[in-house]
Amino acid sequence: MKERLQELQAEALQKVEEAVSLKELNDIRVSYLGKKGPITEVLRGMGKLSAEERPVIGSLANEVREAIAQHIEAKQANLEEAAIAEKLAAEKIDVTLPGNPVRSGSKHPLTKVIEEIEDLFISMGYAVAEGPEVEKDYYNFEALNLPKGHPARDMQDSFYITDEILLRTHTSPVQARTMEKHQSKGPVKIICPGKVYRRDNDDATHSHQFMQIEGLVIDENIRMSDLKGTLDVFAKKMFGEDREIRLRPSFFPFTEPSVEMDISCKVCGGRGCSVCKGTGWIEILGAGMVHPNVLEMAGFDSKKYSGFAFGMGPERIAMLKYGVDDIRHFYTNDIRFLKQFSKHEE
């Protein structure tokens, strides 16, 4: 009987070892360990054994049963693992195929530049002021020390609607309006972005409509050196810490003294190249100390208050920053153009 059990064990283990599917394994379990299986049969015949032999064979039978069960279990785990692996292998995909595109648009490059400048000045305590694009001659010119017949009106040939109403030629009327409303109540610190219009034929460097962004600071004791310092901060933050600025005398009717600001050319590092037309400098903006007539007309006492103002063109800045060669691109809105400005920049 003992031999029979050992034989059964060997035979069962052999079969378990050879089993290749879970079903086969289950069949082995049923055939060896089931109620009608050979081990049960052996145990049934135990009545014929002596009292000494019975526990020995009983315990052996249990051991055999245990061993077979253990092997089946182990084999089952093996087979299950293999089945999963096989399934996963069948599920393999090509991870190099493109993912599902996430739709995303982007800001217009001019908005990008304007918001960058806005945020820079906001961090220095400026508010953003806006005003109408169609203006009164008074705010566009007269309040800015440009009376009718002033030769400087030629500098910005304008689109008039009537004798008194025109498309603003700069965003300076917003300054005039802000000052007038403000009436000497504490300091003024604003920047004014917006669209402006001039009688120019559209070509690679001219546009009858373009953007401007101007700044104005008025307080007691504002000095020209403060203007220089402010522009220095602006130039370094906007164009890079390694940039130098240079102020050149200029003329604007609403500021005195007036200057133009150049920054050192990034392309050639100041040695002179085609981008800076050999000068090593690139013109960025116009600025100056607010003309006393402008202060007085807006109700500020020019003996007590002083201020500075500056103005620049986002198109020009965008063209320099991104190397855009034709101002018309900003208004043509070719989608292949717009798509190039969607990245975040350092």
CB of 14 to other proteins, least distance (A): 50
Q: Provide the minimum distance between the beta carbon of 102 and other proteins in the complex, in angstroms, as a whole number.
A: 8
Long-range contacts of 72-77 (CB under 8 A, 24+ apart): 72/16, 72/25, 72/28, 72/29, 72/33, 75/16, 75/17, 75/19, 75/25, 76/22, 76/25
Which two tokens mark 332? 């043509």
CB closer to other proteins out of 83 and 122: 122
Closest CB to other proteins among residues 17, 163: 163
Q: Which residues pair with 245 in a beta bridge?
A: 263
Could you tell me the smallest distance in angstroms from the CB atom of residue 238 to other proteins? 16
Closest CB 346 distance from other proteins, rounded Å: 20
Shortest reach from residue 237's CB to other proteins, in Å: 13
The dihedral over CA atoms of 110, 113, 116, 118, expressed in degrees to the nearest 10, equals: -60
Residue 173, class by beta-carbon neighbours within 10 Å (0-12 exposed, 13-18 middle, 19+ buried)?
Answer: buried
- Nearest residue (CB) to other proteins, 69 versus 224: 224
Cβ proximity to other proteins, 134 vs 275, nearer residue: 134
Nearest distance from C-beta of residue 312 to other proteins, angstroms: 17
First vs last C-alpha separation in the chain: 86
For 280: left if phi > 0, alpha if psi spans -120 to 50, otherwise beta; the answer is: left
CA of 57: how far to CAs of 3, 41, 81, 300, in Å?
10, 13, 36, 117
Q: Is 256 annotated among the ligand-binding residues?
A: yes
Bridge partners (DSSP) listed for residue 264 = 281
Q: What are phi and psi of 325, to 5 degrees?
A: -100, -5
With respect to other proteins, which residue has the nearer C-beta, 16 or 188?
188
Residue number, 117 or 247, with CB nearest to other proteins: 247
The annotation places the binding site at 256
The annotation places the binding site for Mg(2+) at 256
